[in-house]
Amino acid sequence: MAYYFDEPSRTFSEYLLMPGYSSKDCRPENVNITTPIAKYRRGESPKIVMNIPLVSAIMQAVSDDKMAIALAKEGGISFIYASQSIESQAAMIHRVKSHKAGFVKSDSNIRPDQTLAEIVALKEKSGHSTIAVTEDGTADGRIVGLVTSRSYRVSRMAPDTKVSAFMTPFSELIYAEDGISLSEANDMLWDHKLNALPVIDKNRRLTHFVFRKDYDSHKENPNEFLDKDKRYMVGAGVNTRDYEERIPALADAGADVLCIDSSEGYSEWQRDTIAFVRRKYGDDMKIGAGNVVERDGFRFLADAGADFVKIGIGGGSICITREQKGIGRGQASAVIDVAAARDEYFEETGIYIPICSDGGIVYDYHMTLALAMGADFLMLGRYFSRFDESPTNKLNINGSYVKEYWGEGSNRARNWQRYDLGGEGGLSFEEGVDSYVPYAGSLKDNVGLSLGKMKSTMCNCGVLDIPSLQKNTKLTIVSATSIVEGGAHDVILKEQTSNLR
């Protein structure tokens, strides 16, 4: 007969952390939340360690190159979505890797024969006051001058005045040659009292800008997740259909780590994909696999050679796999079970395989719960989709700002490869929805707040790092009544008094 689990399938909201003894050293500034993203052997140091335990989901509505750069600045990594052409995904990877910390590609450019009116329109569109003047008006064209907010006065000049008439010509520009270090470029900014320094190659083509304002920004991001060449780290999703073509293209573009994007990872398709990576790249290319929700699935992917294993089926806010198929498991139960299997595997083989909790995070405290239950890092979709840096449209719906958010299993995404079970390609039914999420502002502000809560909670538990949180924390199951007790109750909130008049 079928096997029945003794315990019910539980979610994060059914648990609370118990406080532990806090010494005087238990202060948020002392908490270390670095975490490994790829497997390593006992006694060895992990090859890739993130500075924060957050990664962005492999979704069209979440992870493009802009999100990847923003999250790497904070210490995490994005997995750029695979439901696009190989060329497009590789180009996104390349843009992240070529975005040197402190070196910015120009996205406000104009030709010398254009007009003041076009300068004003470009400034309004981009929000940038420094505009490169190139022969062809492109970001990497041959530079002929520069326009800043001090170059013109709209009230004193005719709208049809040519840019060439008021730009600072190339002959008067202070610039740096391609290959300069960021430290040297910052010295030039300060020595010459500049706000922007063009970086130019031997053919006089503009390659980057270095801005004075970014010096302070760089100092504000001490957790930047960088490779050995000081480039931002970036991940990429792959599928089990075109991996023999896609993976080499992503590797050539500079992807640091891959992850198989699938709704269910306990499959021969994933084993074949991992085997391809091992044959072609050995252990040099890191690849995660999943998703699974119990120990047998973890063991299968671990034996197949996965560098990390992703947990979760049906727990995402836009996922309806459980509703459509009746397949899945409460995310808390899944993490607890797989974490136990991970620890058993480590004891048996001496190989530690990090696990990633994917889905089920509703509140910030769920992040800490997931880590305490054994997750090494968390993959988030809805959370990151709300920010300025996500690739979706910001809309005003009934007076409130929202951002679009859709699942990879929706008809809008057309990502049938994620749900592939062999046979002909195509999405026969949806396993995700198309929706809106409340707009939340910048990634930096929100991630900082969430991690602040995480560190404070860890201090309350008496721990200063993630391994200690996993080993020493106590958790309790809560009743439906205690969940109600945990929020505001038996009072009239001031914001509700207007409804009593």
The count of other CB atoms within 10 Å of the CB of residue 278 is 14
Distance (Å) of CA 164 to CA 146, 271, 351, 481? 10, 60, 64, 72
Instruction: Tell which residue, 68, 57, 52, has the closest CA to residue 452.
Output: 52
Q: Are 65 and 80 in contact (CB under 8 A)?
A: yes
**Bridge partners (DSSP) listed for residue 434:** 406
Start-end of H helices in 254-363: 268-281, 295-304, 321-325, 331-349
Start-end of H helices in 373-420: 382-385
- CA atoms of 231 and 242, how far apart (whole Å): 28
Q: What would the two tokens of residue 4 be? A: 């029945």
Distance (Å) of CA 336 to CA 267, 293, 295, 374? 22, 9, 10, 6
- CA atoms of 171 and 148, how far apart (whole Å): 16
- CA atoms of 403 and 397, how far apart (whole Å): 10
Instruction: Tell which residue, 36, 59, 42, has the closest CA to residue 355.
Output: 36
Residues belonging to the active site? 319, 418
Query: Going along 407-486, which residue ranges are E strands?
Result: 434-438, 474-477
